[in-house]
């Protein structure tokens, strides 16, 4: 009977849908969904030129993917990994700024972020297309010897990798793409927009009602429940990027192995954290947030907070750390955003400065 009654709702909506209120011209907006870089991306732009801006965003993302994809054998990254060296063509120009940014973040984080971790990641089966497995100790040691981001050389327009090296830009590409979107939003005079690039969020401007964008931070304990949050970030003109061990993992012999590999050990980072969220203003660069979120996850709570305290210029980025023992640590000196704890999440909340 309930089903039958529910069936009733269908024609009602059909009948009444013709009576919907007209769209407010001030609310002109365009939403596009793109599957790229191994993830789903959703971009909503507002303003008069919102459709053109949204499609320009898609073009930029597709263009970046063509250059940076790990799975496309024709991408610049794939050609570089296969040959060990690559003379960049006209269409590969994005590689140079990304590689130099990656090298900068590697040095800043003392190697906790390193794009040459790719062979180790592949050995665990996290590179996609292969079965998950636990590599032997000898194999890991052999692979670890090749991990050294400083061996990647960019001279003029030629990129050269060290012997046996391969790079994976998965930890920086989406953030870099988010950064590129800010250029488009400026160019198309987009007053407000929200872009989700697989866990990388760019909150541009504010919400149509004039309040900050509300961006939830996923509860790592309930990765399958989209309504389970540790809290909500209230953001204006900001990036927020989360790295978490819950995002990709496999289990073997009762042990869980996640996808964030510590370049020092070659094993999934066992840092006591379950997720790291890095928040920064939209001028700071999405690539930085993306790379830092991975690196700080590897570092663990104490070293991550030390790194946050040591940042130059006083307040470049802020952190929300979720620990294995059920704490949420918020580190913010910028005062540019608000973190609203989720009631009933079961976490204890701490603020550090």
Partner 1 sequence: MKLTTKQLTLCALLTAMALALSYLENLFPLSLAIPIPGVKLGLANIVTVFALYALGAGEALLILLARCLLGALFAGNMNALIFSLLGGLSALGTMALLSQGRGLSVYGVSVGGAAAHNCGQIAAAVWTLGSGAPLYYLPVLLAVSLLTGGLTGLASACLFRGLGHTGLMNRGKADGHG
Partner 2 sequence: MKPFPRLRPTAWDGLVVLCVAALALGIAFFQWRGGTQEGLTAVVSVDGREVDRFPLEELIAAPRAYEHNGYTLEVCAALRGEVSSLDHVKSDGEMGLRVARSDCPTQDCVHTGTITRSGQSIVCLPARVIIRLEGGAADPGNVDAVTG
In the list partner 1, partner 2, none, the entry touching 209 (Cβ below 5 to 8 angstroms by class) is partner 2
Q: How far is the CB of 8 from partner 2 (least distance, A)?
A: 9
Q: Are 127 and 143 in contact (CB under 8 A)?
A: no
Minimum distance from residue 134 beta carbon to partner 2 (Å)? 20
Contact pattern from residue 262 through residue 281 relative to partner 1, giving x for each residue in contact according to CB under 8 A and a dash for the rest: --------------------
Answer for the pair 270, 261: CB distance below 8 angstroms, yes or no: no
User: Mask of contacts with partner 1, 6-45, x by CB under 8 A?
Assistant: xxxxxxxx-xx-----------------------------
Single residue of 25, 156, 210, 227 touching partner 2 by CB under 8 A: 227
Of 2, 21, 23, 138, which one interacts with partner 1 (CB under 8 A)? 2
Least CB distance to partner 1 at residue 168 (A):
45
Among 203, 291, 295, 298, indicate the residue that binds partner 2 (CB under 8 A): 203
Q: How far apart are CA 116 and CA 95, in angstroms?
A: 14
Long-range contacts of 301-310 (CB under 8 A, 24+ apart): 301/271, 301/272, 301/273, 301/329, 304/273, 304/276, 305/329, 305/331, 305/352, 307/109
* Region from 9-17, 65-73, 131-139, 308-316 binding partner 2, contact rule CB under 8 A: 9-17
Determine which residue in the list 207, 267, 303, 327 makes contact with partner 2, applying CB under 8 A.
207
Q: How far is CA 36 from CA 64, 66, 141, 247, in A?
A: 9, 10, 33, 17
Exposed/middle/buried for residue 228 (C-beta within 10 Å: 0-12, 13-18, 19+) = middle
H helix intervals, the chain: 2-17, 50-68, 76-83, 95-108, 118-123, 137-144, 173-187, 286-299, 301-309
Q: Nearest approach, Cβ of 20 to partner 1 (angstroms)?
A: 11
Q: Which residue has the tokens 């006209």?
A: 90
76 binds partner 2 (CB under 8 A): no
Please state the φ and ψ torsions of residue 243, each to the nearest 5 degrees: -115, 130
31 binds partner 2 per the rule CB under 8 A: yes
Are 320 and 277 in contact by the 8 Å Cβ rule? The answer is yes
Binding site for partner 2 (CB under 8 A): 3, 6-7, 9-10, 13, 16-17, 19-21, 31-35, 38-40, 42, 58, 194, 196, 199-201, 203, 207, 209, 211, 213-218, 220, 223-227, 229, 232-233, 240-242, 244, 246-247, 275, 277
């Amino acid at each position: 009977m309930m089903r039958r009654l529910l069936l009733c709702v269908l024609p009602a909506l059909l009948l009444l849908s013709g009576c919907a209120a007209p769209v407010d011209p001030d609310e002109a907006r365009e939403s596009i969904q793109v599957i790229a870089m191994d993830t789903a991306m959703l971009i909503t732009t507002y303003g008069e030129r919102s459709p053109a801006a949204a499609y320009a965003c898609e073009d930029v993302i597709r263009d970046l993917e063509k250059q940076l994809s790990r799975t496309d054998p024709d991408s610049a990254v794939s050609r570089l990994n296969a040959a060990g060296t690559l003379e960049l063509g006209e269409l590969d120009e994005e590689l140079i700024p990304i590689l130099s940014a990656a090298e900068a973040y590697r040095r800043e984080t003392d190697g906790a972020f390193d794009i040459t971790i790719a062979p180790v990641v592949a050995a665990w089966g996290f590179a996609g297309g292969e079965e998950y497995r636990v590599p032997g100790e000898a194999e890991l040691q052999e692979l670890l010897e090749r991990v050294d981001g400083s061996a990647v050389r960019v001279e003029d327009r030629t990129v050269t990798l060290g012997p046996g090296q391969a790079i994976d830009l998965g930890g920086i590409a989406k953030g870099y793409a988010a950064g590129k979107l800010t250029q488009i939003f400026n160019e198309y005079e987009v007053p407000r927009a929200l872009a989700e690039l697989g866990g990388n969020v760019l909150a541009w401007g504010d919400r149509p009602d004039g309040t900050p964008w509300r961006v939830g931070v996923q509860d790592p304990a309930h990765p399958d429940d989209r309504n389970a949050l540790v809290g909500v970030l209230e953001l204006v003109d900001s990036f927020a990027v989360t790295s978490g061990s819950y995002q990709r993992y496999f289990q073997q012999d009762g042990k869980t192995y996640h996808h964030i590999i510590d370049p020092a050990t070659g094993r999934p980072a066992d840092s006591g954290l379950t997720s790291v969220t890095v928040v920064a203003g939209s001028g700071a660069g999405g690539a930085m947030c993306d790379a830092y979120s991975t690196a700080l996850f590897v570092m663990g709570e104490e070293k991550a907070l030390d790194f946050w305290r040591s940042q130059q210029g006083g307040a470049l980025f802020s952190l929300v750390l979720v620990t294995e023992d059920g704490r949420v640590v918020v580190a913010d000196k910028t005062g540019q955003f608000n973190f609203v704890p989720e009631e009933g999440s079961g976490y204890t909340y701490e603020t550090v400065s």
